[in-house]
Structure 1
Amino acid sequence: MRLFLTLLALCAVLFVASLTSGQITAGVSESLAALFARDGLPLSVVMQEIRLPRAILAVMIGASLGMAGAAMQGFLRNPLAEPGLIGVSGSAALGAVLAIQTGLTLVCPLALPLAALTGAVLAVLLILMLAGPRGASITLILAGIAISALAAALTSLVLNLSPNPFAAADIVFWMMGSLADRSFVHVWLALPFMAVGWVLLILSGRGLDALTLGEDAAHAMGINLTRLRLMVVIGTASAVGAATAVAGAIGFVGLVVPHLLRRFVGARPSALLWASALGGAAMVLAADIAVREILPQRDLKLGVLMALVGAPLFLHLIFKTRKEMA
């Protein structure tokens, strides 16, 4: 309970900080008052139509990535597993890339996230088809790796053959991941898919707890492993696919956050799901604030910053784990 309250308080503080971060400087009380004003002033418009949806998306995306990472690690019983392992992120990125390359985004602004969601859905169907309804975890991993590699290869092919340098530049910048220029349209588009993913992953908590004792023990406890697997895969795909669709590729959240919080929950997957959701939200909020404060004039991408911070942090965790096991 103490961890939950601490993470919740941290998210609340960072949420307020996100609302008050940006090039338009104003006091905290003035900025928060502008959230509810109907005066049409520039600060009110910025707070209500730019900063508020951006902060909400940061919470949604961080929670989705953190919870999905904890679920994948619990299901595969591997602390190195992460949501991108099943190829959903790469497939969603491929769908978005095709939307940019074909010019659909010029016709309909929502074509990009919708194409990315379509790519994520197709990836899930392919994974379930390749792995089979009763396939082992290793089969699921191999299917995900194959789909991820294929999506990456096709994305590279599109970039290689792109005759339009401006489209290629848009593709590269989108794949870096960002929450800039997002609106409530993106929030409402992603929320239903993320909500489905959250519900499925939370409902899988009991099964993930039982799975820590092994598949045979979990089966003896009445856990339907096929159903559990479908819940984890579809829940992860729904949450992560929607996150990638509206913000691009943002890595390391689902890998690092469960690692940092696992010791505080006694390595119980069901408790780690909630903790990782709040921890992921806090991490993405903090990173998005840093993006706006470090280089406000250069449009530093969120995915780039997450990689720069997440990779060294993960290496530190690896060395720390090696010392503890020695």
Structure 2
Amino acid sequence: MKLFGALMGLTGVMFLASLFVGYAAIPIPEGLAALFGQGNPLFVTVMQEIRLPRTLLAAMIGLSLGLAGAAMQGFLRNPLAEPGLIGVSGSAALGAVVALQTGLAAAFMLALPITALVAAALGVGLILLLAGPRGSSLTLILAGIAVSAFAAALTSLALNLSPNPYAASEIMFWMMGSVANRAMDHVWLALPIMALGWLILAGLGRGLDALTLGEDAAEALGISITRLRLQLLVGTAAAVGAATAVAGAVGFVGLVVPHILRRFAQGRPSTLLWASALGGAAMVMAADLATRLILPDRDLKLGVVMALIGAPLFLHLIYKTRREVA
């Protein structure tokens, strides 16, 4: 309960900071009134149309990536596993690139996230086809790597053959990941799909706890490994696919957050699921806050900041683990 309270408090503080810290200085009382459509019309516009959707998306994306990362590590029993391992992020990115390259994104505001979601679903379907209904964890990983590599190759091909340098530049900036310049339409598009993914992944706790004893022991306890793998893939596809669709590629969250919180969860995957969800939400909101404070006059991307934060943290965790083993 202490862990839950601490993470809830941290997430709440980050949520409020994300709402009230920005380029335009808005006092807290006026900002709260503006959230409900009252007071200065300029404050209402800033709070309702800029900061609220940005904050909500950052929290949703962090929750999705943290939860999916903990579920993936629990199922594969590998602390190096992360959601991008099964190719969902790469497939969604490819769909977004197609929308940008063909001009669909310019013709219709939500064409980019919708295309990315469709591509993510197709990518997971291909992984299921390649891995088979009873494929091993190794087969699943190999299928995910193959789909991810193929999607990355097609994305690079689209950039290589792009006749318009502005389109290529837009693709590159989108792939860096960001929640800036997003509207509530993006929130309402992603939320139902993410929520479905959250429900599916949250239901994996008992199965993942049993899986720590080994696959044979888990099946003896009544856990269907095939069903567990299908739930993992569908839940990850919904949560991570929707996150990538609306924000681009944001890495390291699903890898680093479960690593940091594992010792506080006593190594129990069921506890780590919700802990990583809250921790992921707090980390992404903090990273997005950093994009506004470090270089407020430049369009610093969330994915870049997350990589700058996540990579050193991960290297520190590797060094610490190596010392503990030695």
Compute the TM-score of the two structures, normalised by the length of structure 1. Answer: 0.99
Structure 2 gaps of 5+ residues are none
Q: Give 2:126's aligned residue.
A: 126
**1:158-213 C-alpha deviation (Å, 9 max, x unpaired):** 00000000100000000000000111100010011111110111111100000000
SS in 2 for 1:264: coil
Tell whether 2:101 aligns with 1:101. yes
Counterpart residue type for residue 278 of structure 1: L
CA-based RMSD:
0.8
Q: Give 2:31's aligned residue.
A: 31
Q: Give 1:5's aligned residue.
A: 5
The CA deviation at 1:44 is: 1.0
1:24-63 mapped onto 2 (5 Å cutoff): 24-39=24-39, 41-63=41-63
Alpha-carbon distance in 2 for matches of 1:259, 1:24: 36
Structure 1 gaps of 5+ residues are none
Instruction: Give runs of ≥4 in structure 1 deviating > 4 Å.
Output: none
- How many positions carry a matched residue from both structures? 326
Counterpart residue type for residue 207 of structure 2: G
Tell whether 2:170 aligns with 1:156. no
User: What's the % identity of the aligned pairs?
Assistant: 71
Tell whether 2:87 aligns with 1:68. no
Tell whether 2:192 aligns with 1:175. no
Q: Give 1:137's aligned residue.
A: 137
Q: Give 1:325's aligned residue.
A: 325
Alpha-carbon distance in 2 for matches of 1:206, 1:200: 12
The CA deviation at 1:107 is: 1.1
**1:127-159 C-alpha deviation (Å, 9 max, x unpaired):** 000000000000000000000000000000000
The CA deviation at 1:38 is: 3.5
SS in 1 for 2:25: coil
Alpha-carbon distance in 1 for matches of 2:30, 2:43: 9
Tell whether 2:260 aligns with 1:260. yes
The CA deviation at 1:29 is: 2.3
Q: Give 1:205's aligned residue.
A: 205
In terms of mean alpha carbon deviation, does 48-57 or 83-92 score higher? 48-57
The CA deviation at 1:40 is: 6.0
Alpha-carbon distance in 2 for matches of 1:28, 1:79: 41
The CA deviation at 1:56 is: 0.7
The CA deviation at 1:22 is: 1.4
The answer (yes or no) to whether the contact 2:30–2:39 under 8 Å persists in 1 is no
Alpha-carbon distance in 1 for matches of 2:262, 2:89: 24
The CA deviation at 1:101 is: 0.3
The answer (yes or no) to whether the contact 2:34–2:43 under 8 Å persists in 1 is yes
Tell whether 2:16 aligns with 1:16. yes
Alpha-carbon distance in 1 for matches of 2:16, 2:32: 8
Q: Give 2:234's aligned residue.
A: 234
Counterpart residue type for residue 83 of structure 1: P
Alpha-carbon distance in 1 for matches of 2:156, 2:166: 16
Alpha-carbon distance in 2 for matches of 1:26, 1:76: 46
Alpha-carbon distance in 2 for matches of 1:13, 1:309: 19
The answer (yes or no) to whether the contact 2:287–2:302 under 8 Å persists in 1 is yes
Compute the TM-score of the two structures, normalised by the length of structure 2. Answer: 0.99
